[in-house]
């Protein structure tokens, strides 16, 4: 009732893979909150406060920064997700090393509306 699990079409191809979500979010977020994911070795999430985050849509205040760190053999993920209540994920940065040069990506909210 409080957990959002994110799976990948690439890695989640059978019922057993559903035991290993790529990301797990425990909602509602609280500053200082911490939990472990289900992936191999180190897979941890930490919630921090984010006073304001600028995106293509504008600047959002009172956000949460969810920091995700994953470490496995020849693999390291250092990801940051910025979440604004009543809007959703507004920005994501990926810093991934998987047996090759590091990959850096930034995703940013393009558009939203509230009903």
Tokens standing for residue 96? 């991934």
The predicted pLDDT at position 76 comes to 94
Q: Is pLDDT above 90 for 100? A: no
CA 30 to the chain's CA centroid: 15
The predicted pLDDT at position 3 comes to 79
The predicted pLDDT at position 62 comes to 93
The predicted pLDDT at position 69 comes to 95
The predicted pLDDT at position 114 comes to 80
Report d(CA 106, CA 91) in Å as an integer: 7
Q: Is pLDDT above 80 for 36? A: yes
The predicted pLDDT at position 4 comes to 82
């Amino acid at each position: 009732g409080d957990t959002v699990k994110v799976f990948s079409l690439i890695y989640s191809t059978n019922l057993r893979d559903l035991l290993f979500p790529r990301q797990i979010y425990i909602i509602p977020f609280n500053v200082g909150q911490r939990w472990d994911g289900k992936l191999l070795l180190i897979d941890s999430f930490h919630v921090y406060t984010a006073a304001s985050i600028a995106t293509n849509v504008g600047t959002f205040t009172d956000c949460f920064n969810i920091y995700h760190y994953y470490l496995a053999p020849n693999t390291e993920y250092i990801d940051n997700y910025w979440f604004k209540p009543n809007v959703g994920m507004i920005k994501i940065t990926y810093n991934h090393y998987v047996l090759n040069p590091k990959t850096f990506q930034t995703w940013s909210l393009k558009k939203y509306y509230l009903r």
